[in-house]
Amino acid sequence: MGIIKAAGQAIGGALSDQYLEVIQAHDMGDQTVFTTGELIRRGQNVKGTVDTVSNGSYIYVNHNQFMMLVDGGKVVDYTSEPGYYKVDNSSLPSLFNGQFGDTLKETFDRIRFGGETPRMQKVYFINLQEIKGLKFGTHNPINYFDNFYNAELSLRAHGAYSIKIVNPLQFYEEVIPKNKDKVEFPSIAEQYMEEFLQALESAINQMSQEGERISYIRGKEREIAKFMSETLDEEWNQMRGMEIQAVGFTTSYDPESQKIINMRNQAAMMGSDPNVLRGMAVQNITEGIKNAGSNSAGAMTGFMGVGMGMNAFNSSMDSLNQMTGGMMSPNGTNPGGGGPAGGATPQGAAPQQAGGWTCECGTVNQGKFCINCGKSQPAPAPAAGGWTCACGAVNTGKFCSECGKPMPTGSQEWTCECGTVNKGKFCSNCGKPQA
């Protein structure tokens, strides 16, 4: 019993005039891997019986389908070439290998399918398209040692993969359950899913051993899919006639791993740029000053707390600067104003910063208010020959450098270079004009 490829002119509309059976595959979905043939009766043909393929019947094979003619549980002929085929009980197997070359013939000979006394005849179809959308997810977090973070991290992965049947005879013999008329791959994939996840974990662990950072995994999908294919090749390809085609997935970290990553990244950012650390400290101090006014114990108490925090910050920065050898300041001085890096402030000397001022309480400040007691910065003494504007700025020119107002005349006092205080435009002592 076998099949003969039918000529195109032998089919045509004349087929409906002959009381023959035409068999084609049932509808195949995206994840259908196996189905029986569907009998289409032509005209008034009612001679066909269940589980029997009449001699002379035609079988239609579509693209990406593999058809098997089974007699008594044995595959007696097959084809992977699209077209019409005529059943001939007197012929030997034709074995139309199609895209698979001699691979199918070798499998056919190895498994030793052959004709027996006809008892039950069936036509089966196997889907040769890529079976896509097979979803997966890791049951437990996968451990991943990252050399960059020097820590054992954990991640989860979920996504989808696809397979392709590369040896349909092997697939039919090893994978398809017996006495099934239609098989969707997810219904038989429990065993293969476990093997798939084991291969995925092995691929991810391989990346860890090669020193890849954990954040690079998402960009390594192709490499992981290739590694998984090689890992599953012997079991899936050689023994089951299928192979991995593509893998797409995303990863997520468990909460503890995410904390470690965030902490390490923050430390690396501050360590690489000392100004980042200083900027964060200044931001925190600024927030403290802004919130001091809303302190339930009063604004002054709030400012005192900010001052104590600032003093503690300066001490910490001094210690950190000594350990880092002056790295915390571009000019080699301690951020707290304690002198050269690694050196102690001379005893009895008040710490000074460029542009700073010392409050009555002894605290060195940079802003207009004391961070310890809250007192405002005292107005500077007028310079020789200078004048004080209504806005409080001390000037030597004819216009205020702060608000732009012109220097007042008349009763406004000014100090000459000789030290005499005058109100007119000329010095009453030496006669020099007002600058």
Name beta bridge partners: 252. 156
The amino acid sitting at 21 is E
| Tokens matching residue 365 | 């400040």
Residue 16: band (very low, low, confident or very high) from pLDDT cuts 50, 70, 90: very low
Domain count along the chain: 4
Ramachandran class of 137: left when φ > 0, alpha when ψ lies in -120 to 50, beta otherwise: beta
Res. 34: pLDDT tops 80: yes
Residues 84 and 29 in one domain: yes
Q: What is the mean pLDDT of residues 159-179?
A: 91
- Note the pLDDT of residue 117: 45
Res. 354: pLDDT tops 70: no
Residue 126: band (very low, low, confident or very high) from pLDDT cuts 50, 70, 90: very high
Query: Could you tell me if residue 272 is inside a domain?
Result: no
Residues 383 and 367 in one domain: no
Res. 135: pLDDT tops 70: yes
Residue 209: band (very low, low, confident or very high) from pLDDT cuts 50, 70, 90: confident
Q: Which range of residues forms the domain containing residue 226?
A: 131-258
Residues 135 and 121 in one domain: no
| Neighbouring C-beta atoms of residue 31, cutoff 10 Å | 18
Residue 348: band (very low, low, confident or very high) from pLDDT cuts 50, 70, 90: very low
Residues 32 and 52 in one domain: yes
Residues 231 and 190 in one domain: yes
- For the ranges 9-23, 42-56, 180-194, the maximum mean pLDDT occurs at 180-194
Residues 148 and 90 in one domain: no
Residues 241 and 294 in one domain: no
Query: Could you tell me if residue 78 is inside a domain?
Result: yes
Res. 35: pLDDT tops 90: yes
Distances in Å between the Cα of 6 and the Cα atoms of 56, 59, 62 are 10, 9, 14
For residue 171, give the CATH number of its domain: 3.30.479.30
| Tokens matching residue 344 | 């102690």
Res. 360: pLDDT tops 60: yes
- Note the pLDDT of residue 147: 86
> What is the percent of the chain where pLDDT is above 90?
13
- Note the pLDDT of residue 389: 80
Q: Give 170's contacts (C-beta < 8 A, 6+ positions apart).
A: 107, 111, 239, 240, 241
Residues 66 and 108 in one domain: yes
More reliable by pLDDT, 384 or 387: 387
Q: What is the mean pLDDT of residues 197-212?
A: 87
- Note the pLDDT of residue 119: 58
- Note the pLDDT of residue 183: 95
Residues 90 and 168 in one domain: no
Residues 54 and 145 in one domain: no
Residues 151 and 231 in one domain: yes
Residues 122 and 27 in one domain: yes
Res. 314: pLDDT tops 90: no
Query: Could you tell me if residue 143 is inside a domain?
Result: yes
* pLDDT tens track for 226-272: 787 777 877 888 889 998 888 888 888 888 888 888 887 776 666 65
